[in-house]
């Protein structure tokens, strides 16, 4: 075994992502030891019960000796946690996060900066619809992208810290990309945030239909609906914070989505089969592009790493 | 091997569903022999090349001796094909279809009725995003629902024919349900048709964003978008016909969906985290109901039967 990238890491927030980092860091030798802390005593006990690492009963104990602190909390909680953590960290350590929104996350982390620690926001494009410490598994980041959005004004020490953090995620199996926070938030608004909002919405719409029983919706969900319910099972607090903190980019996507949908609605109402065919045919070619690009056949197919397969579809 | 349910069946339209019926009927001994016909010479040659059955070069040869004729063509083509097929069929034979819309399909088939054949519309809740004769595979209908929408005014002979058709689909591994066509169309509008429309739409929206490159959308599609592209890869002609022929039920669902989405949009714009949390939390509980009902863990999990697994997701 080679030297670990970090001798000691601290994970704050022992949910799906935090627990998966803990498991992966140990399994792939990326960290010597793993401290964990969660503000919920229940979660701390569960994390200790499944031996996720050294579970501390306070933030100070968790972060004091850590070479890298991972804040794995909802984006809305980042600012308060970062403000508490930074003064307790040792000089030269790295502070990173896993938030799905990077503009607000960067502001939240930067507000806590005291010049002693390296603040490097990050976001693993990986997850399942499961939550909690028990949901974590070590292969979650295999073949997934990990996006870092480093601050603009870093010196050489900062750049070295970014390289070390990159090495950590690479060792966990991820491919690391660097981009600015605003670009990240625009890209994720359309590739992740809007799809989740749509999925949450269609599930709610389906269950409010008076003309169709909820039992029927469940029974015949294989016709396409079920795919949406899987996405819509994701953690509601995390997603609330995503939408509150990436408002502009999401509203921009949503406006376009609704406009395009109105055009399809009009085509249906007026029996305009040509418009429908052309739009559906175009969507099909985009799927082909994704498969051709290897984004759904191995290169970034972390679905294969899911602990249990409940993936399926029908038409 | 027990006696086949039908000595001879004819499959008109050798796409994903028709080819899968051909494969399954042979594999599970539900039919003695399988005739196929497709209006496309190219498809006929491909079907013959992969030995799907006895490929006829005209409709009359395919259906003349068949005990049951399966029309596996888009809903918009049903009326013309049924009108051609019925006079060529033998008395007492069954004419069924696999259309995703049953009100219009029933009218299309009934228009061809001559009192000699039993018209029993049907719809397998099964499929993949693949198309063409090569896409067919025998386990497609295993653990899937098959919905029959028999005509209201059948006599005893008709009821016996319905029972025989039920036995056929049961032998292919499906669970058969009977309901009236209008109810089918309302249920499928929300569980299948609206999800597909939304998926087609979001894929088009994503690729029209000026602020995000198409390559980026493809690259980071694991964040949720990829799930939608799979659904959106479905056959555009089939889906055009679904929306043209189930207009009222789809427009009703779509109106509610857009209304609900506008409420979420408003909550995002005004920073109303409570509304967002409550809606997301409710959607999550619906997913739980689907899993609890066994609709996503085996009972109707025909995703497990897909020939190749490109099912995956991220957040």
Region(s) of chain B under CATH 1.10.3660.10: 183-305
- At residue A304, does pLDDT exceed 80? no
Cβ distance of B209 and A230 shorter than 8 Å: no
Q: Specify the CATH number of the domain B6-179.
A: 3.40.50.720
Q: Which residues of A touch B144 (CB under 8 A)?
A: 222, 314
Q: Provide the shortest C-alpha distance from residue B195 to chain A (in Å).
A: 6
Non-local CB neighbours of A123 within 8 Å, separated by 6+ positions: A97, A98, A99, A100, A102, A146, A147, A149, A184, A188
Helices (H) and strands (E) in chain B, counts: 13, 9
Query: What is the location of CATH 3.40.50.720 in chain A?
Result: 6-179
Nearest-Cα residue of chain B relative to residue A288:
B233
* Mean pLDDT across B234-245: 94
DSSP string for residues in A152-211? TT--HHHHHHHHHHHHHHHHTTPEEEE--HHHHHHHHIIIIIHHHHHHHHHHHHHHT-SS
- CA dihedral (B273, B277, B283, B285) in degrees, to 10, reads -170
3-state secondary structure of B296: coil
Structure confidence at residue B211 (pLDDT): 79
Relative to beta strand A122-124, strand A145-148 is: antiparallel
A-contacting residues of B 11-50, CB under 8 Å? none
Of residues A266 and A215, more confidence is placed in A266
Dist CA B72 CA B19 (whole Å): 9
* pLDDT band for position A294 (cuts 50, 70, 90): low
Mean pLDDT of A261-279: 97
Q: Please state, for a pLDDT cut of 90, what percent of chain B lies above it.
A: 76
pLDDT of residue A301: 26
Mean pLDDT score, A37-45: 97
Q: Using CB atoms and an 8 Å cut-off, which of residues 82-121 of chain B contact chain A?
A: 100
Q: Residue A191 pLDDT > 70, yes or no?
A: yes
Interface of B with A in 234-293 (CB under 8 A): 234, 236-237, 239-241, 243-244, 247, 250-254, 256-258, 260-262, 264-265, 267-269, 271, 273, 276-277, 279-284, 286-291, 293
Task: Compute how many other C-beta atoms are within 10 angstroms of the C-beta atom of residue A295.
Answer: 23
Q: What is the pLDDT of residues A130-152, one digit of tens each?
A: 899 999 999 999 999 999 999 98
* Spatial contact of B76 and B245, defined as CB atoms under 8 Å apart: yes
Distance CA A254, CA A248 (A): 10
Residues of A in contact with B178 (CB under 8 A): none
Which residues does residue B9 pair with via DSSP β-bridges, in sequence order?
Answer: B34, B68
Chain A residue numbers touching B271 (CB-CB < 8 A): 244, 247
What pLDDT does A295 receive? 60
Q: What is the mean pLDDT of chain A?
A: 90
> pLDDT class for B268, splitting at 50, 70, 90?
very high
Quick: pLDDT tens for B168-197. Answer: 999 999 999 999 999 999 999 999 999 999
Going from the C-alpha of A285 to that of each of A98, A222, B16, B213, B233, the distances in angstroms are 33, 24, 18, 16, 7
- Distance of alpha carbon A129 from alpha carbon B280, whole angstroms: 12
- Nearest CA of chain A to the CA of B71: how many Å? 17
Is B186 within 8 Å of chain A by CB? yes
Query: Under an 8 A CB cutoff, do B187 and A247 touch?
Result: no
- A295 interface with B at CB cutoff 8 Å: yes
Residues B143-172 pLDDT 10s: 999 999 999 888 999 999 999 999 999 999
E-strand spans in A38-190?
54-55, 68-71, 94-97, 118-119, 122-124, 145-148, 175-178
Q: What is the pTM of this model?
A: 0.87
Q: For A53-78, what is the mean pLDDT?
A: 97
Q: Are A82 and A111 in contact (CB under 8 A)?
A: yes
Average pLDDT over all residues of chain B: 90
Candidates B97, B140, B86, B131; CA nearest to B11 is B97
For residue B288, give the 3-state DSSP assignment: helix
Q: Decide if B187 and A257 are in contact by the 8 Å CB cutoff.
A: no
Interface contact flag, A209 B202, Cβ < 8 Å: no
Could you tell me what percent of chain A has a pLDDT over 70? 93
Mean pLDDT across the stretch B268-282? 96
> Does an H or E element contain A103, and which?
helix A103-110
pLDDT score of A305 = 29
> DSSP assignment of A203-236, as one string?
HHHHHT-SSS-HHHHHHTGGGTHHHHHHHTTS-H
**Euclidean distance between CA atoms A23 and A136, whole angstroms:** 7
At B315 the pLDDT is: 35
Torsion sign, CA atoms B199, B184, A219, A202: positive
pLDDT digits (tens, 9 = 90+) for B83-135: 999 999 999 999 999 999 999 999 999 999 999 999 999 999 998 888 999 99
Q: Do B216 and A247 touch (CB under 8 A)?
A: no
Q: Are A288 and B233 an interchain contact pair (Cβ–Cβ within 8 Å)?
A: yes
CB contact under 8 A, B233 and A284: yes
* Interface contact flag, B221 A191, Cβ < 8 Å: yes
pLDDT value at position A196? 94
Nearest-CA distance A103 → chain B (Å): 16
**A25–chain B nearest CA distance, Å:** 20
Please give the share of chain A, as a percent, with pLDDT higher than 90: 76
For A116-120, A280-284, B36-40, which range has the lowest pLDDT when averaged over its residues?
A: A280-284
Per-residue confidence band for A211, with pLDDT thresholds at 50, 70 and 90: confident
Looking at chain A from residue 191 to 210, which residues have their Cβ under 8 Å from any Cβ of chain B?
Answer: 191-209
Distances in Å between the alpha carbon of A4 and those of A8, B176, B299? 9, 58, 45
**Å between B184 CA and nearest CA of chain A:** 10
Give me the percent of chain B exceeding a pLDDT of 70.
93
B64 touches chain A (CB under 8 A): no
Greater model confidence, A132 or A307: A132
pLDDT tens-digit map of A104-129: 999 999 999 999 999 999 999 998 88
Cα(A249)–Cα(A233) distance, integer angstroms: 23
Structural fold of domain A183-305: 6-phosphogluconate dehydrogenase C-terminal fold (1.10.3660)
Tokens of A279: 């739009």
Q: Are A78 and A109 in contact, with CB atoms under 8 Å apart?
A: yes
Residue B217: which of A126, A191, A223 has the nearest Cβ? A191
């Amino acid at each position: 075994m080679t030297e670990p990238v970090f001798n000691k890491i601290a994970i704050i927030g022992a949910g799906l992502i935090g627990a998966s980092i803990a498991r992966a860091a140990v399994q792939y030798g990326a960290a010597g030891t793993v401290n964990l802390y969660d503000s919920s005593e229940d979660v701390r006990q569960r994390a200790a019960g499944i031996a996720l690492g050294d579970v501390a009963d306070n933030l100070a104990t968790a972060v004091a000796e850590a070479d890298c602190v991972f804040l794995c909390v909802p984006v809305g909680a980042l600012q308060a946690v970062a403000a508490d953590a930074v003064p307790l960290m040792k000089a030269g350590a790295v502070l990173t996060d896993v938030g799905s929104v990077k503009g607000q996350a960067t502001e939240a982390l930067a507000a806590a900066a005291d010049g002693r620690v390296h603040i490097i926001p990050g976001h693993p494009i990986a997850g399942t619809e499961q939550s909690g410490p028990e949901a974590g598994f070590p292969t979650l980041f295999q073949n997934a992208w990990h996006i870092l959005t480093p601050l603009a004004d870093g010196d050489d020490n900062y750049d070295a810290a970014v390289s070390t953090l990159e090495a950590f995620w690479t060792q966990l199996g991820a491919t690391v990309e660097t981009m600015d926070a605003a670009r990240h938030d625009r890209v994720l608004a359309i590739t992740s945030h809007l799809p989740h909002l749509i999925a949450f919405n269609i599930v709610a719409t389906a269950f409010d239909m008076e003309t169709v029983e909820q039992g029927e919706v469940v029974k015949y969900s294989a016709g396409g609906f079920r795919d949406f319910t899987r996405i819509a099972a994701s953690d509601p607090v995390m997603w609330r914070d995503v939408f509150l903190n990436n408002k502009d980019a999401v509203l921009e996507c949503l406006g376009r989505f609704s406009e395009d949908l109105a055009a399809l609605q009009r085509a249906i109402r007026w029996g305009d089969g040509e418009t429908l065919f052309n739009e559906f045919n175009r969507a099909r070619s985009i799927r082909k592009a994704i498969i051709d690009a290897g984004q759904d056949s191995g290169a970034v197919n972390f679905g294969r790493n899911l602990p249990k397969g409940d993936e399926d579809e029908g038409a």
